[in-house]
Structure 1
Amino acid sequence: MKDLAFLTSPDMSKAEVVTNHVVIAQYAGLNKISVRKLIDNNISDLEELGKVSFEMTKITEGRGRQTKIYQLNRNQAMLLITWLDNTEPVRAFKLALVKRFDELEKTIQTWTKERAAEKATTRSLTDAVQNWEHTNPHAQSNFRKLLTKCATGFPYTKVQARGDKGVPMVDLLTAEELQKYKRLKALVIPLLDLGEEYNDIKATLEKYATKKAVNAPQQ
């Protein structure tokens, strides 16, 4: 049930895990308007566990009127569920929701660790490109675009389109993509130090990128 909870942003540095009152109503077998009113009537209690955000969404396509959809973090969702009748659907939903929150929070934790490790090698790559015997004004950008494509399988522009303008590209990678990016970057640095041509480095990265696992040395 991957739609039970979701990330608030494709920018993993800012993403949080939330669910919404429509999901809760659907899976608990309740009327979504009743659940929304329950939130309205107890908003102050929920706000003690964090800001209660919402988005305005059209009920139907076209000119349909907009309705408020509340987004709730883990603690807010669990508190709301305690106010519902303890029916079998509600109990089953609560268990599934907890598991989905755990899964997504683990994804963020994994990404955070990979991002910290990636940052540790950023200066090394920058220096290696700067000192590369074939360096040019576009070398830094070209290598980062190449690494992005090899790590994700998508062009740099498509990865950038995942988030808002100005968001660092690596913050838009998934934890798995970031891990692959980091390992491929560890391959690039010694090749730059050896003075390899760009096309040769590109061919090497593309070769390793097609493998299921990139077993490059950790930096």
Structure 2
Amino acid sequence: MTPLVLFDSLDLSKASNESFYTTTEIIAERSDNSYKVVSDLVRKYRFELEKIAPLNSFFKKLNVNNVGRSRKIYKLNEQQTLFFIPLLGNTPAVVQFKFDLAAAFVAMRNELQARKIARAVEKPNGVTLHQAISEWEHFPRHGNTWHSIIRSLLATTVTGLTKKQIQARDTDWRKEKTLLDLLDSVEMERYKMLESIAIAMIEAGSDYEPLKVAIKATMTTKKVHTDQSKDF
């Protein structure tokens, strides 16, 4: 099921509560209204909506193969949504949607805050990891490339994705951004755990392959324990 609240980028440097939005497509689906009714209502109250914030939109192909006709989808932020949803009336579907949407906006704000806190907590450890790698006895073999190698290992391990797949989470990815900005709060917690293991092994003089095996094994063991706990 499509999330009720969307956010175009996971890059924390661009994140704010104002970035969250729902769409006319989601509103139509969840309020039991036709898309035409919802989009016509947006156009009718466009002036009022734009007084709250710019009314952004995009076009979406109606065909699954991305050919043929397109539909204009409007994005409404939380404040615009608060104004707009009551215009749909108070049918049971609309009332339930208002409740679910409000909860979704709150959940998204909480997730954003959790990510920012986790990222802030990670930064001091990041310096330690940087120092550990720079002073590593194996550092001369690859030089500064080790920093990218180790951080990519940690990020790909906690997400189960390749580096390119993590980067693909952000359609506006730029090379100067770090993979850490594209991890969610749960992944950041796992990252910090693996980072402490990496630092300890690097400082102990471990070579890369044993370090890699230990990192992968730690995450696999944690996943097994988590899955087993769900069975009880």
TM-score range normalised by the length of the shorter chain: 0.7 to 0.9
The counterpart of 2:42, out of the listed 23, 34, 39, is: 39
Question: Which range moved further: 193-202 or 78-87?
Answer: 193-202
2:119: which partner in 1? 115
1:217 corresponds in structure 2 to: none
Distance 1:73 1:62, change over 3 A: closer
Give the number of aligned pairs.
213
Mapping of residues 28-107 of structure 1, within 5 Å: 28-60=31-63, 61-107=65-111
TM-score by length of structure 1 reads 0.87
Superposition CA RMSD, Å: 2.0
Letter in 2 for 1:74: E
Q: Within 5 A, what are the aligned runs for 1:198-213? A: 198-212=208-222
Residue aligning to 2:5:
5
Structure 1 stretches of 5 or more lacking a match? 214-219
Q: Which runs of 5+ in 2 are unaligned?
A: 224-232
- So what's the TM-score if we normalise by structure 2? 0.82
CA distance in 1, matches of 2:29, 2:156: 39
Larger CA deviation: 158-167 vs 33-42? 158-167
What SS is found at the alignment partner of 2:125? helix
Indicate conservation of the 8 Å contact 2:32/2:93, yes or no. Answer: yes
Q: CA deviation at 1:13?
A: 4.0
- Contact (CA 8 Å) 2:9, 2:169: kept in 1 or not? no
1:32–1:2 distance in 2 versus 1, CA, 3 Å: closer
Distance 1:206 1:62 in 2: 39
Q: Distance in 2 between matches of 1:182 and 1:24?
A: 38
> By percentage of residues, which structure has more helix?
2
Q: Is the 8 A contact 1:2 1:100 kept in 2?
A: no
What is the 5 A alignment of 1:18-37? 18-37=21-40
Return 126-135 or 27-36, whichever deviates more: 27-36
Contact preservation (8 Å) 2:152, 2:179 = no
1:125-164 aligned at under 5 Å gives the runs 125-136=129-140, 137=143, 138-163=145-170, 164=173
**SS at the partner of 2:222?**
coil
Deviation of the 1:143 alpha carbon? 0.8
SS in 2 for 1:44: helix
Work out the CA distance in 1 between the residues paired with 2:54 and 2:192: 35
Deviation readout 1:96-137 (Å, 9 max, x if unpaired): 111222222222211111111122222211111001111132
The corresponding residue for 1:176 is 186
What's the CA shift string for 1:41-88, capped at 9, x where partnerless? 222322333322111112234542222100111121121012221222
Identity, in percent, stands at 30
The answer to whether the 8 Å contact 1:111/1:175 transfers is: yes
- One-letter code of the match for 2:97? F
